[in-house]
A and B are shown apart, each in its own frame.
Chain A
């Protein structure tokens, strides 16, 4: 793999830090993703995130028709072990997911406790496109007034996310990547307003 596990991962990490601390800020992992020469059944940027965040200290779950294949690759790459969605620290919801699979999986993942809110799942979602746009109005910590984005993922995941994040500090943090390696984060602090409905 041409991907440099020190310098490329560091650069990619800083983009995740930027996007996580400024929800709505879309960064791009294309330089790092271009160096991934592994066909693992997921986006190359998803593998960059796996290499960045996973090791033997954490567990993961892949949601995909090719769950087995991608699970094996991520395990070989990071030595992290797969676990059930209810216990996994990182949940990868891949591009081939079913129509409403993100919403379903969000109901099952761990959201931490009031005492240990960090013991919650981080969800990495492969989307068709993540772009600047006006579908979602984002507010909350990290956002000066409001940020506007489009996220092309179907289903009722926004309602489920809202339910799972209702009891802050418990909740789930989402990282979206798209085909063009764009990256968007929706930490639990971000409020989404969609077409006049507050979600």
Chain B
């Protein structure tokens, strides 16, 4: 019997460790499962947690999409794709619908995910209670006792200070009425996409060596007060300058020459596919 090592850039022992932690994470939604991480030969900040998850999951039949802050073409996204393609010979795509595994940093795609997909989110800071409790020993106890008054106090202080909840990204959520969880630095706009998601969502923090999960059809509620309800960013009267989309997460851009403010889809592949559709239907009309 022969055991081969170092396929997909990642030895089989490391994969086993990640796989065991992943299955536990799925069984305990929102709980941060610690794992023994081996050093990855890439710089940190690249999202080693997400990459380790992806490499533990991916096989020859998979189609991988990598997005970094909404873009498939950022240096980070391209480098991760190159790495996975080179080492595993995997197909990649920019189309959300074609992907079986979507590794992302800072966004959940605009196109609703499906049952056949797994979303892997890269997490820099997995502990939602860290801001007021620096000790890991203590935060583990707070989670154990479901003692989340500190999380509520943080939100309360934001309201006192700013008149509203100020966490634009990584707004904490409650998973299955049990664990307060950091959804990773996605905009508040994306938080509701986690609730009852059709796709499995896995979150990986490489530096802190934690894996956690939101299984499909799982209750995810953004923390809020009755008199200060959770609200997503509103782009109500705004639309994408390129494709005209509304009701999506828009980047605000500023034209220095004209002094004009305009908006564009943050999810570039979504924008592009809309533009393609529009030019095709125009082509049909004219043809």
| Interface residues, chain A, with chain B CB atoms under 8 Å away | 1, 5-7, 9-11, 13-14, 16-17, 20-22, 52-55, 57-58, 77, 113-118, 120, 122, 141-144, 168-169, 171, 173, 187-189
Interface size class, chain B? 35 or more
Chain B residues in 8 Å Cβ range of A189 = 27-29, 176, 215
Q: Give the interface of B toward A (CB within 8 A).
A: 1-4, 7-8, 12-13, 16-17, 19-29, 31, 33-34, 36, 56-61, 115, 118, 140-141, 143-145, 176, 178-179, 200, 213, 215-219
**Complex Cα distance A142/B3, Å?**
34
B21 CB contacts on chain A under 8 angstroms: 118
B contact residues around A173 at 8 Å (CB): 23-24, 27
Query: Smallest CB-CB separation from A139: which chain B residue?
Result: B217
How many residue pairs link A and B with beta carbons under 8 A? The number is: 106
Known: A22-B115, A53-B20. 4 other contacts (CB 8 A): A20-B26, A53-B16, A118-B34, A141-B217
CB <8 Å contact, B29 and A141: yes
Whether A168 lies near B216 (C-beta < 8 A) is no
Q: Please state if A141 and B176 are interface contacts (CB–CB under 8 Å).
A: yes
Write the nearest CB–CB distance from B133 to chain A, whole angstroms.
14
> In the complex, which residues of chain A have a beta carbon less than 8 angstroms from the beta carbon of B144?
113-115
Q: Tell whether, in the assembled complex, residue B26 and residue A21 are in contact, meaning their CB atoms are under 8 Å apart.
A: yes
CB-based contact A13/B12 at 8 Å = no
What are 24 contact pairs spanning A and B, CB under 8 A? Answer: A5-B3, A6-B12, A10-B57, A10-B58, A10-B59, A17-B22, A17-B23, A21-B26, A21-B216, A52-B16, A52-B19, A53-B16, A53-B23, A57-B17, A115-B140, A117-B31, A118-B34, A141-B176, A142-B217, A143-B217, A144-B217, A173-B27, A187-B27, A188-B28
Check A20/B28 contact, CB under 8 A, given A55-B16, A115-B141, A141-B176. no
On chain A, the residues within 8 Å of B57 by CB distance are 10, 13-14, 17
Q: List chain B residues, Cβ under 8 A from A22.
A: 115, 215-216
User: Which of A7, A53, A118 is the one whose CB lies under 8 Å from B31?
Assistant: A118
